[in-house]
Structure 1
Amino acid sequence: MANLNFIVHDDPVGRKRENYIARVDLEPFGLEGEVEQIWLARAPGELFEVCCIPFRSYGIAFRDHVQLDDDGQYVVAVVRRQGHRVLRALFKYAVDDQRVPQSIVREIRECGLLYEWSGGRYVAIDVAPGVDPSRMVEIFDDAESSGVLFWEWGDADPFVYGNLPVGK
């Protein structure tokens, strides 16, 4: 994989001093030549715990336990889910653009959920076990109907490494 485009997490919600970074190949998700850098912490055994909210990877969420390849560079499987989900949205315009209702941005910031921004147009929100996301879904549905953003669940598709879905 030469000439990769990296999707990075500038401020991962679970960042700690002893974190690791591994890659998720985004080609199986239709993003050829792109990888997402995922922040990880040691978990029991040979596993790692996800310490960020994935922006582009499907089937993987904050706190999930994952397995890396033999070189420790790529996530190859989601071994143990921890019950978190990712709600993510791509805004049509940068969030500081006057065409984006600031009430949406305010709701994201005030919803009490962990979130991360990628650039000025993309947000990933962690929905922890037992949390009701219906208010954010309603806001995103309305904004999508108005043409402000597109949203999806990060587990709309399973995690895939290579050509085969794994860890579902």
Structure 2
Amino acid sequence: MFIRTERLFLRPGWPEDFEDLVEVLDDDAVGRSIGALSLPRTPAEVRAYLKRPRDVRLPQCLINLRGESGPRVIGSIGLVPAGEEVELGCWIIRGYQGHGYAAEAVRAVLSQARTLGYSKVIARDFSESGASARVLLQSGFEPAGEMGSRMRLARQSGKHAKRYVAVLADKFADWVGARGVSHA
């Protein structure tokens, strides 16, 4: 699954991404974390992450910033099963936060989720700064009004998380389409 936005190219990770992904994850520059994407930390985990089986109904993509010198991996985004629901997970390395890349990627994946037939997507915000909540709100999520304790896979620790829901109705499709998301 490939998704192109105004500034980003979202695509599955490939074995050829091994060195770039190890470099991005090695400097512990991953800050903003939405949801339940597990971050590989060792070279062996990165290799396994890139070789894992893929489910076309649960896309997991590297977030690549498009540029004249080629794409640069700046994060990851995807959908994972969460009981009877589907949950969005996303991380962006610190040097690229605050530029709207996370919100752009989240809107693109929500648009794809709608195309895949999902009626809603949940997300959990673990950040204490409020940055992840702003990304979710900018991207069409609404607070679900509940807090829950959940294992935060990105950091292997338990923590309370705020729950958000994006209802993928026609109104949402019009809103996302107006922001230039296209699927390749």
What is the TM-score normalised by the length of structure 2?
0.29
